[in-house]
Structure 1
Amino acid sequence: MKIRALILTILFLTGYNLKAQNSPAPIKLVQFVLTPNHNDWNYKLNENAVIKIQVLKHFVPLSNIEVSYQYGNELMPPDKEGSVSLKNGQASINIGNLKAPGFRQLKVKVTVDGYTYRDQVKVGYNPFDIEPTLKLPNDFVSFWEKAIEANKAIPMEPVVTYKPELSTPTVDVFLVRLQNFKKNKHLYGYLSKPKDDKKHPVLFHPPGAGVKKIDPVYAFAEEGFISFTTEIHGITPEISKTDYKDISRAIGNYWKIDLNDKDAYYYKSVYVGCTRAIDFLTSLPEFDGKNVVVTGGSQGGALTIITAGLDKRVTALASFYPALSDNSGYLKNRAGGWPHMFSYPEYSSKENIETMRYYDVVNFAKQITAPGFYSTGYNDNTCSPTSVLSAFNSVHAPKEIVITPISGHWRFGETNDTAINWLKETSGL
């Protein structure tokens, strides 16, 4: 019995160690290489796009295998489905063209040694001519001016708590609570300040989508900004991750809460909360009195544009693949943005569509006066490039964009570095 127990213990410990040592692979064993016949992945209207397909195992092309494919307009039902054999390790597929600005999408699938692998590629047609599908309401500006004025009547009552356990030798971190939208309703965030007692530009960093814990961000302070990273649901980040998960399940898809009423919609408190964050940052004694920056990605990219459109104190912004852009694209048979609400018939009521005219990013983009840096990738299915370009093309202020066609709903470190350097230069750092 002692020997059996010893063997079981050894097996358990060995299995545990093997599991601990089995880190997730950073790449796939089998990979697609999908190469458009235009190096920039951009095409003129009515021009056919041809995609070369290779499948690599151990970085070596595989031959005589069948690849299933489908292609059509971005995020729309496919025009054609079929399969092709990779002779001599490659094949080419003509995925057609577009007669209006937009994107075409090719999806591929292959089975090797019993495992199935998938990939995609999207190409653009006159992407800088894409226009939004929804119109600006006549009372858009006055609607939001009224909402912001109402929020100003709610005292901010900031509670700022120093967090020595989260601070570093170069950055002080504080937990911040601000009253927002209604009395006893709060907005939480982490403030990060350089430890030098100097004046600095301030930077607002709104969050991506979801109900999840936020953490302090040190990178912006290390680059010379006083930064404020927030959540949007009125939940302190000091509760446990388990409690956060429970709250997340209870809230669910918050983007649909009161969607049929523009005055009660869930995002109303979020949008005015962004201007409240600017109120707080510009009240700090270390603020340089001039430079107010906003940056974020996905939902944070959307809130970046929204903040800059609502608040003229913003002097520069950097928005990555903004969500909530041209949501009504699906009603015009083309891709819309996250959360893709109007791709679902049950959410496409007249009242919901009317509400989103007041909350869609493209209408805030039209209000921006500050210079902006923008970025997206063509292979993003979460925030489709059609929707992102709709927003970018709606901006009339000075702007520049970095497009890395290969990227999906993420960005390369090089792009992030370019954005930070642009924000620093714009802010005099």
Structure 2
Amino acid sequence: MKKLVYILSFLLVSSLAFAQPATQMIKVMVAPDHEDWTYKIGEKVTFSVTVLKWGNPLKNTKITYQIGPERFETKKDSAVLKDGVIKLDGGTMTTSGFLRCTVIAKVDGKEYRNLATAAFEPEKIQPAVEMPSDFNEFWNKAKANLAKVPMDAKMTLLPERCTETVNVYHLNLQNYKEGGTTRLYGILCVPKKEGKYPALLRVPGAGVRPYAGDVRTAEKGVITLEIGIHGVPVTMDLGVYTDLGAAALSGYWAYNLDNRDQYYYKKVFMGCVRANDFLVSLPQFDGTNLAVAGGSQGGALSIITAALDSRVKWAAPTYPAMSDMVGYLKGRAGGWPHIFDKNNPHHNTEAKIKTAAYYDVVNFAKNLKVPCIYSMGFNDETCPPTSMWAAYNSISSPKELKLYQETGHWTFPEENEVIQNWLLDKLIKK
């Protein structure tokens, strides 16, 4: 029973970032009039809106709507859907990007919301961020400093999480930070059967939480390591992480943003490399096959880790955050954590803009040399598609793009299956 409680609670926490929105009684359906939601620059888009109850159009429903570039919606209006259906003139775009229609229907005093986003030649989107002249030098120096820090690995078996075929450990490593050391924690899953195995590093989405580890993939014959980034154990009670997220780690993504050497994410990026140091040191590792995968912040870390560490052979980023973050300063949507949007004028300083360029996914994407599978949707309000395309268009290595236009900051089960099968196909040679 104790083991079952552990599994259920951790699966719940770890699935939140990828879960589909809950189904509601009233459904607001919004869609552009092109099947693939994609248009030529200057081509007009029409958005169809349908409000459903029990699967049928709900008559005389009042809606309010906004239409405009993502995160810059400009046209605001309202309408009554006499027959539960309406078509809205969305206009067009004169540059590559994304045009979004957001609709709110009010039924019996409750609001129901949905949106759809039309793409205008997104393959032409170019990043706003520029690569610093000493970008590679900066990160090579950071890796050299990390290499001087002993790994000091500590593995604690978690019997309640082990299965018949997999041993599960709480892993504790020493990591580098400017002016000292910190610790890196994660959940390591190793096949019990004697042999040599490929390895997969799973990097986390934003937030502060415990982790369950990727036991399922380990049962298929892959060593897996799921890490946290905050230098705290990842097996504590959920309430501990809630408190940390509300206090000491609140807004961690902006800590020391005015100093490229002390910015919070420097130890995070080095922690991902340190995690790989450990994986390749394992006697069970096959010596060759190493991949990295994650979504949102983890999507960013997937690209960054693969670009920083030549030992990585494949990357699977899903809706990557931290992409083209200064887009807002050029009048378009930038990537999470939206440091430079209109709500954060205090971040718009020369020092912070300069630091952000060293940590922007776009600049790592330019250095990516390994194959990747890149997955995203058009309706993502957390990681705007403009920012994600700026990173995708910067990748010159072999890449596969999997579009799920309707998705926001979540994934379909079918999407997860495609990504998982791609990883297994690369890691486990048939």
Q: TM-score, normalised by structure 2?
A: 0.92
Give 5+ residue unaligned stretches, structure 2.
Answer: 1-20
The AA in structure 1 aligned to 2:268 is V
Match of 2:338 in 1: 340
Q: Which amino acid aligns with 1:264?
A: Q
The residue that corresponds to 1:352 in the other structure is 352
Alignment partners' CA distance in 1, 2:181 and 2:136 = 27
Residue 194 of structure 1 pairs with residue 194 of structure 2: no
Contact 2:323 2:335 in 1 (8 A): yes
Which of 44, 49, 53 aligns to 1:53? It is 49
* Secondary structure of the structure 2 residue equivalent to 1:210: coil
Unaligned runs of 5+ in 1: 1-24
Deviation at 1:26, TM superposition (A): 4.2
Shift of 1:294: 0.2
Match of 1:106 in 2: 101
Residue 29 of structure 1 corresponds to which residue in structure 2? 25
In the other structure, the counterpart of 1:72 is: 68
In 1, Cα distance between the equivalents of 2:255 and 2:170?
A: 28
Q: Which residue of 2 aligns with 1:396?
A: 396
Q: Which residue of 2 aligns with 1:240?
A: 237
SS in 2 for 1:368: coil
Q: How does 1:119-198 map to 2 (within 5 A)?
A: 119-182=114-177, 185-198=182-195
CA distance in 1, matches of 2:220, 2:365: 27
2:292·2:315 contact (CA, 8 Å) conserved in 1?
Answer: yes
Aligned residues of 2:64 and 2:103 also touching (Cα < 8 A): yes
Alpha-carbon separation, structure 2, partners of 1:32 and 1:246: 36
Give 1:282 shift: 0.4
Percent sequence identity over matched residues?
Answer: 43
Q: How does 1:217-366 map to 2 (within 5 A)?
A: 217-248=214-245, 249-343=247-341, 344-366=344-366
CA contact (8 A) 2:380 2:409 kept: yes
Query: RMSD between aligned alpha carbons?
Result: 1.3
Q: Deviations over 1:73-120 (max 9, x none)?
A: 1101x3211112223331101111111111001111111122111111
Q: Could you say what secondary structure the match of 1:188 adopts?
A: strand
Letter in 1 for 2:56: V
1-structure distance, mates of 2:306, 2:69: 32
The residue identity in structure 1 corresponding to 2:132 is: P
3-state DSSP class of the match of 1:157? coil
**Stretch of structure 1 that moved more, 218-227 or 373-382:** 218-227
CA contact (8 A) 2:377 2:406 kept: yes
For 1:110 and 1:206, how far apart are their aligned partners in 2? 37
Looking at structure 1, the residues matched to 47 and 221 of structure 2 have their Cα atoms a distance apart, in angstroms, of 45
Question: Where in structure 1 do 4 or more consecutive aligned residues deviate above 6 Å?
Answer: none
SS in 2 for 1:394: coil
Following the alignment from structure 2 to structure 1, what is the Cα–Cα distance between the partners of residues 373 and 224?
A: 18
Q: Secondary structure at the match of 2:64?
A: strand
Query: 1:184, CA displacement in angstroms?
Result: 5.0
Whether the aligned pair in 1 keeps the contact of 2:168 and 2:188 (CA below 8 Å) is yes
SS of the residue corresponding to residue 180 of structure 1 reads: strand
Offset of residue 402 of structure 1: 0.7
Does 1:93 pair with 2:88?
Answer: yes
User: How many residues are aligned here?
Assistant: 404
Deviation string, structure 1 residues 226-264 (Cα, Å, up to 9, x no partner)? 000000111012332222222222221001110000011
Query: Aligned partners of 1:223, 1:391: CA distance in 2, in Å?
Result: 32
Match for residue 16 of structure 2?
A: none
